[in-house]
Amino acid sequence: EDKVVQSPLSLVVHEGDTVTLNCSYEVTNFRSLLWYKQEKKAPTFLFMLTSSGIEKKSGRLSSILDKKELFSILNITATQTGDSAVYLCAVPHGSSNTGKLIFGQGTTLQVKP
Amino acid sequence: GAGVSQSPSNKVTEKGKDVELRCDPISGHTALYWYRQRLGQGLEFLIYFQGNSAPDKSGLPSDRFSAERTGESVSTLTIQRTQQEDSAVYLCASSFNRETNEKLFFGSGTQLSVL
């Protein structure tokens, strides 16, 4: 059965700290792994990773994929209170060539001033 | 439109009543998805539309749930005879074309509370 597991489930840090969020997956016919940030309700797209070892970067956020060990990490450096959100990891369902995604439970990040 | 729009943003209903949730995808997006998110949980896939057809309804939890899409645009998700376990945020998403179908753009969801 395809599944995605994220850790930790929640994290509290102070502004300026660096955090690493983890996502492990099991899926047949792996195509990609996606990270979303969810503030209030609407998840917003962060990264899509398809190749191992290639870091994707956007400002203070970066992510990398390890297809051999079946995991990805999302790093946030110099955290700010605006980074407080739920971070979701997802992979497309193995048997479907669509946006039918399997999501992890999410990591709730709280950044304190 | 500029983004995926959902209405209503909040809906409170009594157990046993029917509800309709609406989604307006981004203009030109051919694929549309409904997901459900229970409190503290990840998103669960419900149904996928390509154009006006629904090739994958595998996530609909029971026959009380149905959805349709018209004009390759607006979609409605209908829940009949609502139960308390239907309480959740219902999120709609759309994507542009088959090659990048995994990259979904989400609406702000409808928070459904069944009393």
**Using an 8 Å Cβ cutoff, are B21 and B107 in contact?**
no
In chain B, the residue whose alpha carbon lies closest to the alpha carbon of A4 is B42
Type of residue found at A98 = T
- pLDDT value of residue B99: 57
Which residues in A lie closer than 8 A to residue B41 (C-beta atoms)?
Answer: 105-106
Residue B49 at interface with chain A, using a CB cutoff of 8 Å: no
Closest by alpha carbon to A93, among B19, B35, B22, B92? B35
Mean local confidence (pLDDT), A84-108: 88
What distance in Å separates residue A41's CA from the closest CA in chain B?
5
| Token pair in block for residue B95 | 């994507």
| Token pair in block for residue A101 | 């995604």
Residue B88 at interface with chain A, using a CB cutoff of 8 Å: no
Look up residue A69 and give its DSSP letter.
Answer: T
Out of B50, B102, B108, closest to residue A42 by CB = B108
Are the beta carbons of A34 and B102 separated by less than 8 Å?
A: yes
- pLDDT value of residue B40: 82
Taking each continuous run of H as one helix and of E as one strand, the counts in chain A are: 0, 11
A51: confidence class by pLDDT, cuts 50, 70, 90: confident
- pLDDT value of residue A31: 87
B6, B11, B15, B17: CA torsion to nearest 10: -60
Rg (CA), chain A: 14
Residue B45 at interface with chain A, using a CB cutoff of 8 Å: yes
- pLDDT value of residue A96: 65
Q: Using DSSP, state whether A42 is helix, strand or coil.
A: coil
Q: Using DSSP, state whether A100 is helix, strand or coil.
A: coil
Alpha-carbon gap, residue B111 to A25, rounded angstroms: 29
Per-residue pLDDT of A62-88, as tens digits, reads: 999 998 999 999 999 999 999 999 999
- The greatest distance separating any two alpha carbons of chain A, rounded to the nearest whole angstrom, comes to 44
- pLDDT value of residue A67: 87
For every one of its 115 residues, what pLDDT tens digit does chain B have, with 9 covering 90 and above?
579 999 999 999 999 999 999 999 999 898 999 999 998 888 999 999 988 999 889 999 999 999 999 988 999 999 999 999 999 999 999 998 665 667 899 999 999 999 9
Per-residue pLDDT of A29-47, as tens digits, reads: 888 999 999 998 889 999 9
| Token pair in block for residue B66 | 């149905």
Which residues in B lie closer than 8 A to residue A41 (C-beta atoms)?
Answer: 89, 91, 108-109, 111
A 23-52 residues with CB < 8 A to B = 31-32, 34, 36, 40-45, 48
Out of B40, B56, B105, closest to residue A98 by CB = B56
Residue B108 at interface with chain A, using a CB cutoff of 8 Å: yes
Which residues in A lie closer than 8 A to residue B5 (C-beta atoms)?
Answer: none
| Token pair in block for residue A89 | 């990891």
Round to the nearest angstrom and report the end-to-end CA distance of chain A: 41
Cis before B25? omega within 30: no
